[in-house]
């Protein structure tokens, strides 16, 4: 039997285009605590970090009760916006995402996982909304691990699946994803349609940066051929 392999996906900015929800919820959170909302580009640049770390990047003087209060308002705003706009299905999958997931899932001995800055509740909403639940055998979330780029999420995914790190690949749109993969000792593939530029992903050590989901399976195969 061939050795098991694992492809781990980030969610926001990689599989799902949730930027409008994220920016609107962050603006609402800052408005409620009486601060001007951060620029859209700055909000998207920290997407992928756990919420407390993201907020500190946007407002370094936030701490203690203020940080906790802002995080609570963000979560409530996100849930309210999601409900008002008809749910997570209105944060669409990027073109080709489903086809790529289905094709990888069909490969014998290849497992799929998720490592995301979302909390588990938010991830479950997203996967259910897009009918993706059945594809991912390991799901690592920010409320159960240290923030990216700490390698804990990947380490947990490897432990749960029994996959050797030489046969695992992280797919993400930010340098946080690439740095997390490097910290865990696995390869990483960047995607160019997300929230960090392709050159930054390459600079962080991505083995490849793809511009279309159709390029994913060949990029994964190339990495494993190179390490065989």
**Catalytic (active-site) positions:** 10, 12
How far apart CA 83 and CA 189 sit, in angstroms, is 33
* 3-class secondary structure per residue, 19-48: HHHHHHHHHHHHHHCCCCCCCHHHHHHCEC
Residue tagged 């994913």 (tokens) = 216
How far apart CA 35 and CA 153 sit, in angstroms, is 33
DSSP 107-164: STTEEEEEE-SS-HHHHHHHHHHTT-GGG-SEEE-TTSSPPTTSTHHHHHHHHHHT--
Neighbours of 204 (CB within 10 A): 21
CA nearest neighbour of 142 among 125, 128, 123? 123
What six digits make up the tokens of 124? 């479950």
- Sign of the C-alpha dihedral, residues 174, 146, 23, 126? positive
């Amino acid at each position: 039997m061939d050795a098991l392999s694992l492809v781990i996906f980030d969610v926001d900015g990689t599989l799902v285009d949730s930027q409008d929800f994220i920016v609107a919820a962050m603006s609402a959170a800052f408005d409620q605590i009486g601060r001007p909302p951060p620029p859209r580009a700055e909000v998207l640049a920290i997407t992928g970090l756990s919420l407390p770390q993201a907020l500190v990047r946007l407002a370094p003087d936030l701490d203690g009760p203020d940080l906790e209060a802002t995080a609570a308002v963000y979560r409530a705003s996100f849930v309210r916006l999601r409900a008002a706009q008809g749910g997570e299905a209105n944060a669409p999958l990027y073109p080709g995402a489903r086809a790529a997931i289905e094709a990888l899932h069909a490969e014998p001995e290849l497992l799929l996982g998720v490592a995301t800055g979302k909390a588990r509740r938010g991830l479950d909403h997203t996967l259910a909304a897009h009918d993706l639940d059945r594809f991912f055998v390991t799901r690592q979330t920010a409320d159960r691990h240290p923030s990216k780029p700490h390698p804990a999420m990947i380490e947990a995914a490897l432990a749960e699946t029994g996959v050797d790190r030489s046969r695992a690949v992280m797919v993400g749109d930010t340098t946080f994803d690439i740095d997390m993969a490097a910290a865990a000792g696995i390869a990483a593939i960047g995607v160019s349609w997300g929230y960090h530029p392709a050159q930054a992903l390459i600079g962080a050590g991505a083995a490849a940066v793809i511009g279309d989901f159709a390029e994913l399976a060949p990029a994964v195969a190339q990495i494993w051929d190179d390490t065989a």
